[in-house]
Amino acid sequence: MELSARKKQILKRVIEDYIASAEPVGSKAIAQEMGGSVSSATVRNELAELSDLGYLEQPHTSAGRVPSPKGYRLYVNELMERREVSAAEAEEINETLQDKMSAAGSMISQAGQMVSSIVDYPAYAVAEGKSGVTVKRFELLGVDDTSFITVVMTDDSRVKSQLQRSPLAFDRARLTDLSALLNTHFTKQSREEMSAKLMGLSDQIAPELFLVLSATVGYAAEILEETAKKDVFTTGASQILKMPEYRDLDKAHDLMTFFVDNKENLPVPEDDTPLKILIGPENVNEALRDTSVVVASYDIGDGMRGLVGVVGPTRMDYATVTARLSYFADSLTRMFGKSELPPKEEKE
C-alpha cells in the first residue's frame, strides 16, 4: 500500500523525533510540530494506521509510538534528507586521516578507530582477503644438515621466510635441485593443486628430501591461506553504554561481547555496493537484531577492498552517519590510490 503524503510526513517526524530523544513520540507533539495544520485527533488516527501497517510500534498502551524496522527502512530509502558533510566535518576527517597516514596494513587496523571517533558509535574495519594469489618463486637456503630457510615470494610481491627443521639429515647441496623442482612444478598453483602434486612425488624423492619439500609446500600453503583470510578490527565497544537502548547492562554486555569476541561474524557485504544499511532483523546474526549496521567500502588497490562499518541502535542518526562514513571511505580510496586528500577549508 502506497502511503499518502501526510502519512509519510508524520512518519518522518516520528522517526526524527525518536532519533533525537530516544522517547516514544505522541500525537500532540507531532501536531504542534506541524503548526496546527492537522489536529491531534487526526495525527492520532494516522499514527494508528501507520502502526497497523507495521511502520510504527507502541511500546505500551498509553505510550506514544516508536519506529519499527519497516518504518526505518522506508525512511532510509525515501524520506531521509540526504546530506553532505559540512566543511568542519570534512576538515575533521581529513585531519584525522593525515595524522594517521602510514602503511596500508597499519591504516586498515586504525580505520575503525578513526570512524568511531568521527560518528561516536562502535565501529569496525575489515581488510578482505585476496583470493587467487599464488607463489611466484621459491628459494631454499641451507643452514646445517637438519635446518634450512624457506623463502616464498607470492605473485602480489610479498616475500616471507621461515627457518624450518627436518627430523632427518639431508645433503644441503641438493637444496638447489629442490628449489628448481619447486619453481618448475609448484608455482602458479592453488593450495589444493600444490598438495596434489606433492603427494604425486612421495615415492619419487628420497625420504629426507621429501620431508624438506613437504615442509616447504606446507609453509607456502599457510601463506596463501593467510592471504585469503579477512582481518577484522573492532573499536569503540564502550560507546554502547552511552545509548539509552542499552541501559540494561545485561543487554549491553551481550552486544559488547559479540562485538569483541565474535567480530568475524559482523556483516561483510559480498557485493560492491559503496554503502549498505542493515536495519534490525535485516542483520542475520541474532546478536544484531536490535541494531543497525552501516558499512562502506573503499579500494585498497591491487584488486583488494577494505570496509568500515558502524554499529548502533536502530534509532541511529542515519543521515549523519551515512554522510560521514561515505566521505571517510572516499578519502581512503583517494589515499590508497596515491592521490591527495581534499584540501583543507581555509578559515576566515
Surface-to-core class of residue 244, CB atoms within 10 Å of its CB (0-12 exposed, 13-18 middle, 19+ buried): exposed
pLDDT score of 189 more than 90: yes
Report the pLDDT value the prediction gives residue 337, as an integer from 0 to 100: 65
Q: Are 195 and 177 in contact (CB under 8 A)?
A: no
**Closest to 136 in 3D by CA, of 72, 70, 186, 192:** 186
**Percent of the chain with pLDDT strictly greater than 90:** 65
| Residue with more model confidence, 337 or 252 | 252
State how far Cα 166 lies from the chain centre.
41
Of 92-101, 108-117, 219-228, 255-264, minimum mean pLDDT range: 92-101
Q: Are 178 and 140 in contact (CB under 8 A)?
A: yes
pLDDT, the chain, mean: 88
Report the pLDDT value the prediction gives residue 99, as an integer from 0 to 100: 66
Amino acid at 300: I
Report the pLDDT value the prediction gives residue 302, as an integer from 0 to 100: 65
When pLDDT is cut at 50, 70 and 90, the band that residue 13 belongs to is very high
Q: Are 272 and 329 in contact (CB under 8 A)?
A: no
Q: Dump pLDDT digits (tens) for 114-154.
A: 899 999 999 999 887 777 889 999 999 999 999 999 999 99
Q: Are 321 and 294 in contact (CB under 8 A)?
A: yes
Phi, psi at 64, each rounded to 5°: -75, -165
Q: Dump pLDDT digits (tens) for 323-332.
A: 999 999 998 8
| Residue with more model confidence, 96 or 11 | 11
Of 109-118, 152-161, 330-339, minimum mean pLDDT range: 330-339
Helix, strand, coil percent values for the chain (each to nearest 5): 50, 20, 30
pLDDT score of 97 more than 90: no
Taking residues 213-233, what's their average pLDDT?
Answer: 90
Q: Give this prediction's pTM.
A: 0.73
Report the pLDDT value the prediction gives residue 101, as an integer from 0 to 100: 53
**Percent of the chain with pLDDT strictly greater than 70:** 93
Q: Dump pLDDT digits (tens) for 161-183.
A: 999 999 999 999 999 999 999 99
| Residue with more model confidence, 109 or 319 | 319
Q: How far apart are CA 301 and CA 262, in angstroms?
A: 28
171: left (phi over 0), alpha (psi -120 to 50) or beta: beta
